Amino acid sequence: MRQILLLFIIMVFCAFKAPLTAQRNDFIKEYLERFENSKKYLIKVADAMPEDKYNFRPTQESLSFAENLLHIGYAMDWHTQSLLGGRESRDWNTDTRYKVASKSKKEIIKVVDKTFHETISFIKQFDITEFDEKLDYFGLNRTKRQILLLLANHITHHRGQILVYLRLNQLVPPRYVLFQ
């Protein structure tokens, strides 16, 4: 009788665990589809700005168009590789990967594209059993799932800014890519 009861408990547990794991796998699949579209759209936006306008900033306090692009790259790197992945964070003051310096438009786009690729690779390998683990996110307790969502919002926030930069330079932004 005990064996039957134990078998029943295991079956019930497995019946509830499988749908949860499937939902979490679906989250990664759906997140990556959205993230890939976000990448495509951001690269189109970056291509739309002429290179001679990459230093454009609407106010002195604003990031330039180029700085916004590299800030997006830095944030992707930090959220995934450092915060979620445990790698020591790049030092913003000394690391040159995400500094504009004398980078050309082509070089900036290449850095952003490469960082998207690295971020996507990281997310594909992410251990979904860690979703509910909490981390300190600027003084707030956030799950790793929330951190992935915050990263997507951060990209959208800065991309929205540079879309306005295009308009301020009388340029028409690329048509919006759905599902991002």
First to last CA, the chain: 53
71 is in an annotated binding site: yes
CA distance linking residue 59 with residue 63, whole number of Å: 8
Q: Is 154 annotated as a binding residue?
A: yes
How many residues in total does the chain contain? 180
Tell whether the model's pLDDT for residue 2 goes beyond 60: yes
User: Which segment of 17-21, 130-134, 169-173 scores lowest on mean pLDDT?
Assistant: 17-21
Share of the chain above pLDDT 90, in %: 82
Per-residue pLDDT reduced to its tens digit, 127-167: 999 999 999 999 999 999 999 999 999 999 999 999 999 99
Examine the pLDDT at 24 and tell me if it is beyond 80.
no
Q: Is the pLDDT of residue 3 over 90?
A: no
The rounded distance, in Å, linking the Cα atoms of 160 and 45 is 10
pLDDT of 96-138, one tens digit each?
A: 999 999 999 999 999 999 999 999 999 999 999 999 999 999 9
Q: Determine the Cα–Cα distance for residues 4 and 69; give it in Å rounded to an integer.
A: 60
Helix extents (H) in the chain = 2-48, 65-77, 105-124, 144-168
- Fold designation for 33-168: Four Helix Bundle (Hemerythrin (Met), subunit A) (1.20.120)
49 three-state secondary structure: coil
Smallest CA-to-CA distance from 43 within 177, 179, 153 is with 177
Instruction: Tell me the whole-structure pTM to 2 decimals.
Output: 0.85
158 is in an annotated binding site: yes
Contact 144, 73 (CB under 8 A): no
More confident residue, 22 or 134: 134
For the ranges 5-19, 31-45, 74-88, the lowest mean pLDDT is seen at 5-19
Task: Please provide the average confidence, as pLDDT, over all residues in the chain.
Answer: 90
